[in-house]
Amino acid sequence: MELTKSEWETLFPFHLALNEQLAIVSVGPGLRKLLPQLTTGELFGERFALERPSTDINSIDVLKSLANTVIIIRVRDEPFSLRGQAVIKANGVTLAVSPWISSPEQLPHLGLQLRDFALHDPTPELLFMMQGTAKSLQESRELSYELHQRSTQLQLAMHEARTASLAKSQFLANVSHELRTPMTAILGYAEMLLDELQDSHQREYVAVIHNQGRRLLAIMDDVLDLSRIESGKLTVQFEYFTVNELLRDTEKYFRAEVGIKPLTFRIQCHANIPSRVHTHRASVMQILKHLISNAIKFTPNGEIVMTLEAIDSKQGRMLQIAVTDTGIGIDLEKRHDLFQAFMQADDSFTRTYGGAGLGLAISRRLARMLGGDIEVTSELNSGSTFSLTVDCITAQVESLPIERGEESDSSGGNTRFNYPNLPYSIYVAEDADINRTLIKKLLELAGATATFGCTGRAAVQDITAEQQSFDLIIMDIQMPEMDGCTATRLIREAGINTPIIALTANGQEEDRVACHNAGANCFLTKPIDREVLYGAIADQIEQYKELQATVAH
Amino acid sequence: MFGLINRAFERFILRDYGAESWNAIRHAANIEASTFISMDVYDDEMSFRLFEAAAQHLAYSRDDLLERFGESWVDVGASAGFGPVMRLGGSNLTDFILNLDNLHTRLGLTFSALRPPSFRVELTSSADHSPCIRLHYRSDRQGLTSFVVGVLRGLGKHFNEPVDVRIEQATQGRQASFLVQPLSRHE
C-alpha cells in the first residue's frame, strides 16, 4: 500500500524523497521549516552526507542497500543530524527521518515545536529526558558546590574553635601562673612569720592570713581544674603506686587541715586491698582531699573514718574508698545537686561554711575520668558517707594491715616548724625578686647556701662555668631570655648531672611532662610547700649520692 | 510529585514573600529537607502540607494561594531549567494550550512517576463572539484546580496575551472546565 503525499507529510514530517539520480524531489514540512533554503532538484550530496554507516553515497543503489540499517545523515553547516531509515520506492528512495538533536539548548535555534513532530515520533520525549538529565546534573553541581562551601566553612569554624581552645588553654596557664606567683610570697612569708613571731596574738593574726591564703589557693585551683576538665584539657596519667603512700598522704592532709577541731581520723583497710594500684595518684589524692576537707568542714566533733575495700561491680573489680563522718548530714532533697558545679547542699551552707561548691563537682568528674564514680549516703544530723570507686586494681599482690588509726593533732597549724639540716650548696634560678628572697630565707633556715640567677641563660652560664659545683639546682620555668626547660636541657647537654628540681607556678600536667623531658629530676609547684621542698632536696641529693657511689664502685 | 513542584513553590515564596516567610512555612510544614531535587519524586502529601502552611502563614485561602503559585509557574517552575523544552509547546497561547495534552502525555511517557493531568481543548467563541478556548481538565490529584487557573493566566502573561480564566464547572476537585478568554483581542 502506497502512502499519499499528505500521509507522508503527517507520518514523516521530516522526510526527504530522492529520485534515481539522487536529486531531491520532495521535502517534508518539518524539514522544510528546518532548512528553508532547501529546494527540489538539489543533489543529496550537496547538502547531506551519510554519517552512519560511513559510506559514500555515489548512487541510489547504495542507499537502497541500506534499507535495513539505521542511518544517520549529517546536514552540512547545520548543528543537527537526521536519523531514520531508507524506504525503497519504485522511482527512488524516501528517507523517513527525524532531526537528531544532541542538546535541548539547540531547540530555540531550530525553531521547532511539538506539533512539528509526528505523534509517534519519540524525539520530544528524548528531549525531555535530556533536559531532565541536564537539570539533575546542574543541581548535582550546585549541591556539590554548596557541600564544598559548607565543608570549607566547617573547616574554618573548626580551626577557629581550635585556636580559641588554644587561647583558652594559654589563658588558663597564664592565670594559673600569675595567681600562684603572688600566692607563693603570701603563704611563704606567712609561714616564716609564724615561726619568728613571739607574740601569740600576732601569731594568731598571721595564722589567719596563712589559712585564708591556702583557702584562696584551693578555690583558685578548683576553678582552674573545673575549667580544664570541662575543656578536656585535664589529662590523667596512670601509674603504679602503693596504697600505703596514699594512706600516708591522706593522714598528713587530715593533720594539716583539721586545726583545733576535736576530730579523730581512722583508716580501715579490708584484707582484700592490694598493696599496689594502677591509677592517677594525683587525681585520687585530689578527690580524697576534697572528701576529707568536706568531712572536717561539716563535722563539728566526732570521727572521720576512711574505709578501703575491693568490691565487685559491673565494670569488674574496683577499689572503693569511703569517707564517713559523724557530721551534720545532708537532707535527701538536697543531695541531687551536690555534684553540680557551684552548688552546695544549701545556700546557707555557703554563708556558714564558705567554699565555692566546686569540690564534689570536680571530684565526680575526676572519678569518672578514672573509670569510677562517687556516691553519697547520708542521714541528717548523723553524718554522711561519700564512696569513691576507682578502676585501679590490676593484680592482687599482698594485703595491708586491717586497720590504721590516727588521732588528730589538736594543736593544728600553729605548731612551730622543725627545720631540717640541709648543709648543701644550692643554685636557684628564679626571676621574681620576692620569690628569690623567700627561697633564700627558706634555704638559709635549713642551713643551705644559695646562689641565684635571674634567667635561664644566667643559670646555664653559672652552672656550666668551671670551678662551679652545686649539690642541687632549683629551676623556675617561666623566666625571661631563656625558660627553665631550655636551661635544664642545656645543662644536661653540657654533661652536668646535678639533681634539678623544677619549681614552677605552671602547675599543669603538660608542664610536668615538659620538665621531665628536659631532664629535671623532680617537679614541684608554687606556692612553695616548705616541707615538700625540703623533703625533695633531701631525697634528690641522697639519690644522687647513692647513684654516684654505685658508679664509683 | 516531582521535586520540581516543591522547588518552584520555594522559589515562588522566596521571590514574592522573602526568606523569613519560607523558613516559617517550611518549619510549620515540618519539612526537614534543606532542598528539593527536581527530578526526584516526593510524597504528594508533603507538597500539600507546604501549600497549607503557606496559606495559613500568608493569610490566603488555599485556592487563592494556589492561583498565585500557578500564575508564577511559568517563571519559577517551567522556565527554571526547562525553558528550551517549554518552547516546544508553542509560540503563542492558543498553540500552547492546544499542545497542552500532548506535552503532558509525552512528559508522562518520559517520566513515569509524573502522573500528569489530561486536557481536552475546544476552540469556541464567547457571548460577544470573540474567540475563546474551553479547556477540560482531569487529574488524579485533588485540589489543584485553582493552580491550573493560575497557570493559564501566567501563560497569557508569558505570551503577552492576557486572559481571563473562569471555572465553568468543577467536580470533586479532580475535573474542571475552564473558559479562557482574551482580555484584549489577539490578532
Of A38-47, A118-127, A341-350, least confident by mean pLDDT is: A341-350
- Which whole number is the average pLDDT over A540-544? 93
Of A18 and A465, more confident: A18
Question: Is-contact B77 B8, C-beta < 8 A?
Answer: yes
**CATH 1.10.287 spans which residues of chain A?**
138-234
Give which of B38, B82, B87, B88 to mutate to test A binding, by max A Cβ within 10 Å: B88
Confidence of residue A407 (pLDDT cuts 50, 70, 90): very low
In chain B, % of residues over pLDDT 90:
72
Q: Is the pLDDT of residue A403 over 50?
A: no
pLDDT reported for residue A259: 78
Would you tell me which CATH number, out of the four given (3.30.830.10, 3.30.413.10, 3.90.1520.10, 3.30.70.100), belongs to the domain B84-182? 3.90.1520.10
On chain A, the residues whose CB falls within 8 A of the CB of B98 are 115
Q: Is the pLDDT of residue A462 over 60?
A: yes
Q: What is the pLDDT of residues A55-84, one digit of tens each?
A: 888 899 999 999 999 999 999 988 889 999
Of A44-48, A167-171, A446-450, A457-461, least confident by mean pLDDT is: A167-171
Q: What is the pLDDT of residues B55-91, one digit of tens each?
A: 999 999 999 999 999 999 988 887 776 777 788 888 8
pLDDT reported for residue A179: 82
Alpha carbon A386 to chain centroid distance? 30
Three-state SS at A35? coil
- Which whole number is the average pLDDT over A349-358? 60
Would you tell me which CATH number, out of the four given (1.10.287, 1.10.10, 2.60.40, 1.10.3470), belongs to the domain A138-234? 1.10.287
Three-state SS at A26? strand
- Which whole number is the average pLDDT over B4-9? 93
Shortest distance between the Cα of A80 and any Cα of chain B, in A, equals: 16
In degrees to the nearest 10, what's the CA dihedral of B99, B104, B108, B113? 170
Q: Is the pLDDT of residue A427 over 90?
A: yes
Which residue from A196, A176, A200 is spatially nearest to A188, judged by alpha carbons? Answer: A196
Cα(B147)–Cα(B141) distance, integer angstroms: 12
Of A466 and A35, more confident: A35
Q: B99–A124: do the CB atoms touch at under 8 Å?
A: no
Q: What is the pLDDT of residues B114-135, one digit of tens each?
A: 899 999 999 998 878 888 999 9
State the fold for domain A5-121.
Beta-Lactamase (3.30.450)
- Which whole number is the average pLDDT over A98-125? 86
Q: Is B59 exposed, middle or buried (0-12, 13-18, 19+ CB in 10 A)?
A: exposed
Cα–Cα distances in Å, from B119 out to B86, B107, B178, B182? 17, 13, 11, 19
Q: Is the pLDDT of residue A229 over 90?
A: no
pLDDT reported for residue A553: 67
Which residue from B21, B20, B23 is spatially nearest to B31, judged by alpha carbons? Answer: B23
Q: Which CATH architecture fits A425-552?
A: 3-Layer(aba) Sandwich (3.40)
Of B76 and A389, more confident: A389
Shortest distance between the Cα of A87 and any Cα of chain B, in A, equals: 27
Q: Is the pLDDT of residue A376 over 60?
A: yes
Residues 101-160 of B with CB under 8 A from A: 102-103, 106-107, 109-111
Residue with cell 543503489: A61
Confidence of residue A354 (pLDDT cuts 50, 70, 90): low
Q: A125–B89: do the CB atoms touch at under 8 Å?
A: no
Phi, psi of A38 (to 5 degrees): -70, 130
Q: Which three cell numbers stand for residue A335?
A: 543531695
pLDDT reported for residue A505: 84
Nearest to B110 among A129, A138, A143 (CB): A129
Q: Is the pLDDT of residue A43 over 80?
A: yes
pLDDT reported for residue A349: 56
> In the CATH scheme, what is the code of domain A236-414?
3.30.565.10
Of A308-317, A351-360, A384-393, A501-510, least confident by mean pLDDT is: A351-360
Q: Is A48 exposed, middle or buried (0-12, 13-18, 19+ CB in 10 A)?
A: buried
Helices (H), chain B: 3-17, 19-28, 44-58, 62-73, 79-88, 93-110, 145-158
In chain A, % of residues over pLDDT 90:
45
On chain B, the residues whose CB falls within 8 A of the CB of A125 are 106, 109-110
Mean pLDDT for all residues in chain A: 86
Of A169 and A257, more confident: A257
Q: Is the pLDDT of residue A498 over 90?
A: yes
Q: Is the pLDDT of residue B49 over 70?
A: yes
Size of interface A-B (CB pairs under 8 A): 65
Of B172 and A447, more confident: A447
Q: What is the pLDDT of residues A514-539, one digit of tens each?
A: 999 999 999 998 888 888 899 999 99
Q: What is the pLDDT of residues A254-276, one digit of tens each?
A: 888 887 788 999 999 888 888 88
Shortest distance between the Cα of A25 and any Cα of chain B, in A, equals: 29
Confidence of residue A213 (pLDDT cuts 50, 70, 90): confident
pLDDT reported for residue A512: 87
pLDDT reported for residue A343: 61
Of B4 and A344, more confident: B4
Confidence of residue A507 (pLDDT cuts 50, 70, 90): confident
pLDDT reported for residue A410: 37
Of A338-347, A364-373, B115-124, least confident by mean pLDDT is: A338-347
In degrees to the nearest 10, what's the CA dihedral of A390, A393, A399, A400? -30
Domain regions of chain B by residue span:
3-59, 84-182
